[in-house]
């Protein structure tokens, strides 16, 4: 469709080039529907994941894992930053072409704002204004890091989010990480491997506050062994610039401390990007946290407007955004039966070395719910039937599974081990389809593999001590 127009009539308008939106745009575009994809920045074609999220972080982690622990690798770091930039540039071009090559799809680069429930005004980067009138609108504007109200945090030049840290050209000699959650720990582990002196400041009593204490404790030991200093129950009170470095002041147990860093990563959560979208003009409701309110079919308070991905306040994973696409597609061209209500056993992974993969209930959550459970927990190094870990010299970590004592159904698992990001999918699939712990224990697996750990792990189930 030509761009020398000031108004476009469309069957579908998508705001945001993320996984759910771009997949829907491509699918309906291939079916011949008139689609307009609106992305605010050319540097974000393809969405957060490939540009500033999953792909670049995993690229940096992968390259760090090939370095011998304990050294300082400035050259390797610079090389990794360059290789990662090339990777994301290539993927960005592929994603743009995926839509731009479709005759029925128009890609607009600029800021979109509702003027009424069916109309968007797009201020393009070229300075023109284009009106898009669409029968259906999908909002997929994602999320951004939260910058809390801490003195000096927004004005100290060494403070950055994960986006800026990912493209930092030189390895920081000292890195302070505010937050001991998934993002903070992934960056902490990665930069420590490249040789940065890393300090993690976590406000809660343990890192990964939602995980079982034994799992979080095991990961904390692994991180400390890799050189990461972790301070829990640490309240950050201020950040200031001091002699071209940042001085982070925090309080623990009533005592004030200061850590100096060449870079400070703020990893204290993310918030939906919904400001300046004209949602009020569109009649779209939001929560107090700014997320777009949706039903189980991802419809907003306006039935023809959908919200997919992080912006709707759901789990912030690319694969959830992809499943959001399936739900919306079911509404638009299918039988309408798919919904988020039947979404179960969603796994997630923290890409430390080794990675921590989780699905379902923790032991503590199951006990708090009054459930009668069986639990098995084994250090990887003690599992004689898992030679794969020894072959690749990755014996750190533990494996843990929680099972319903009355039904033998798997309730959850925590796998802190080599290849856990792959193995966890087996557990999630078993949970979704009601495969019992006994069946998983007695299944034939390839050898040597990490999956065969279930032969031994599930044979060690015992009543929970809680």
Residue-wise pLDDT tens digits, 219-261:
999 999 999 999 999 999 999 999 899 999 999 989 999 999 9
Using the predicted structure, report yes or no on whether residue 341 has a pLDDT greater than 90: yes
Pairing mode, if any, of strands 263-266 and 159-160?
A: parallel
* Cβ-based burial of 6 (10 A; exposed 0-12, middle 13-18, buried ≥19): exposed
Alpha carbon 398 to its chain's center: 22
Q: What is the DSSP string of 204-250?
A: SSSSSTTS-HHHHHHHHHHHHHTT-EEE-S-EEEEEEEETTEEEEEE
The confidence score (pLDDT) of residue 3 equals 63
Q: What is the pLDDT of residue 465?
A: 79
- How many residues are listed for the chain in this entry? 466
State the pLDDT at residue 1.
Answer: 44
pLDDT at 369 over 80: yes
Measured between alpha carbons, how far is 41 from 96 in angstroms, rounded to an integer? 12
Cβ neighbours of residue 243 closer than 8 Å, sequence gap 6 or more: none
Instruction: Tell which residue, 333, 308, 321, 331, has the closest CA to residue 27.
Output: 333
Classify domain 7-143+271-342 at the CATH topology level: FAD/NAD(P)-binding domain (3.50.50)
Concatenating the DSSP letter of every residue in 61-92 gives HHHHTTSPTT---HHHHHHHHHHHHHHHHHHH
- CATH 3.30.390.30 range(s) for the chain read 348-461
Strands 143-145 and 348-350, sheet pairing = unpaired
Task: List b or e across 193-204, with b for residues whose CB sees 16 or more CB atoms inside 10 angstroms.
Answer: bbbbbbbbbbbe
Residues 102-161 have pLDDT tens digits of 999 999 999 999 999 999 999 999 999 999 999 999 999 999 999 999 999 999 999 999
All residues at 6 or more sequence positions from 268 whose CB lies less than 8 Å from its CB, including other chains: 145, 146, 148, 178, 179, 181
The DSSP element (H or E) to which 130 belongs, if any, is strand 129-139
Looking at the predicted structure, is the pLDDT value of residue 397 above 60? yes
Cα distances (angstroms) measured from residue 224 to each of 192, 201, 229, 326: 10, 13, 6, 41
Query: How far is Cα 71 from Cα 230, in angstroms, rounded to an integer?
Result: 20
Task: Please give the Cα distance from 21 to 41 (Å, whole number).
Answer: 15
- Section 346-372 average pLDDT: 97
- What number of other Cβ atoms are within 10 A of residue 128's Cβ? 14
Q: What amino acid positions are annotated as catalytic residues? A: 447
Over the range 400-420, which residues count as b (16 or more CB within 10 Å of their CB) and which as e? bbbbbeeebebbbbbbbbbbb
Model confidence, pTM:
0.94
DSSP state letters, 335-348: -S---GGG-----E
Break the chain down into helix, strand, coil percent, rounded to 5: 35, 30, 40
User: Mutual orientation of helices 19-30 and 318-332 as an angle, nearest 10°?
Assistant: 40
Helices (H), 116-173: 162-166
Tell me where in the chain the CATH 3.50.50.60 domain(s) lie: 7-143+271-342, 159-268
pLDDT band of 385, cuts 50, 70, 90: confident
Whether 2 shows a pLDDT value over 50: the answer reads no
The packing angle between helices 74-100 and 182-194, to 10°, is 130
Choosing among 1.10.1740.10, 3.50.50.60, 3.10.450.40, 3.40.50.1370, the CATH entry for 159-268 is 3.50.50.60
Bridge partners (DSSP) of residue 201 are 178, 231
State how far the Cα of 274 lies from the Cα of 143, in Å rounded to an integer: 9
Angle, vertex CA 211, rays to CA 268 and CA 417, nearest 5: 105
For domain 348-461, give the CATH number: 3.30.390.30
Q: Residue 363: which H helix or E strand, with range?
A: helix 363-368
Backbone CA torsion sign across 112, 113, 115, 121 = negative
Quickly count: other Cβ atoms within 10 Å of residue 33's Cβ.
18
pLDDT band per the 50, 70, 90 thresholds, residue 404: very high
Closest among 218, 170, 177 to 195, alpha carbons compared: 170
pLDDT tens-place string over residues 41-62: 999 999 999 999 999 999 999 9
């Amino acid at each position: 469709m030509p761009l020398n127009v000031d108004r476009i009539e469309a069957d579908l308008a998508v705001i945001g080039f993320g996984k759910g939106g771009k997949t829907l745009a491509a699918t309906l575009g291939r079916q011949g529907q008139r689609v307009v994809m609106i992305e605010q920045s050319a540097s974000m074609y393809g969405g957060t994941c490939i540009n500033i999220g999953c792909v670049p972080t995993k690229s940096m982690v992968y390259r760090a894992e090939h370095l011998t622990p304990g050294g300082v690798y400035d050259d390797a770091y610079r090389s990794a930053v360059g290789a990662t930039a090339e990777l994301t540039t290539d993927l960005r071009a592929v994603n743009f072409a995926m839509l731009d090559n479709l005759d029925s799809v128009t890609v607009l680069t600029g800021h979109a704002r509702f003027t009424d429930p069916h109309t968007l005004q797009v201020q393009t980067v070229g300075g023109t204004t284009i009106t898009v009138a669409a029968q259906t609108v999908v909002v997929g504007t994602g999320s951004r890091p939260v910058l809390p109200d801490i003195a000096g945090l927004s004005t100290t030049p060494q403070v950055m989010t994960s986006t800026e840290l990912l493209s930092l050209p030189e390895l920081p000699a000292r890195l302070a990480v505010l937050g001991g959650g998934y993002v903070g720990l992934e960056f902490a582990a990665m930069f420590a491997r490249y040789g940065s002196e890393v300090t993690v400041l976590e406000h809660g009593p343990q890192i990964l506050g939602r995980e079982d204490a034994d799992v979080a404790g095991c990961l904390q030991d692994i991180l400390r062994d890799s050189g990461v200093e972790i301070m829990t129950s640490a309240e950050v009170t201020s950040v200031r610039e001091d002699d071209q470095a940042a001085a982070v002041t925090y309080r623990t147990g009533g005592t004030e401390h200061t850590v100096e860093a060449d870079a400070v990563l703020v990893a204290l959560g993310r918030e939906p990007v919904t400001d300046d979208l004209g949602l009020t003009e569109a009649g779209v409701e939001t929560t107090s946290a700014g997320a777009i309110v949706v039903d189980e079919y991802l419809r907003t308070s306006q039935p023809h407007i959908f919200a997919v991905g992080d912006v709707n306040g759901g789990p912030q994973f690319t694969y959830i955004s992809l499943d959001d696409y399936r739900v919306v597609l079911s509404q638009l061209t299918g039988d309408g039966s798919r919904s988020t209500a039947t979404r179960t056993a969603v796994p997630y992974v923290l890409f430390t070395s080794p990675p921590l993969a989780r699905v379902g209930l923790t032991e503590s959550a199951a006990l708090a719910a009054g459930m009668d459970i069986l639990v098995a927990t084994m250090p990887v190094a003690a599992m004689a039937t898992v030679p794969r870990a020894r072959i690749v010299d990755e014996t750190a970590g533990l494996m843990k599974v929680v099972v319903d004592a009355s039904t033998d159904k798997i309730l959850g698992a925590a796998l802190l081990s080599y290849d856990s990001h792959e193995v966890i999918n087996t557990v999630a699939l078993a949970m979704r389809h009601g495969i019992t712990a006994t069946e998983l224990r007695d299944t034939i697996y390839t050898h040597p593999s990490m999956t065969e750990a279930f032969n031994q792990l599930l044979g060690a189930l015992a009543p929970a001590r809680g």
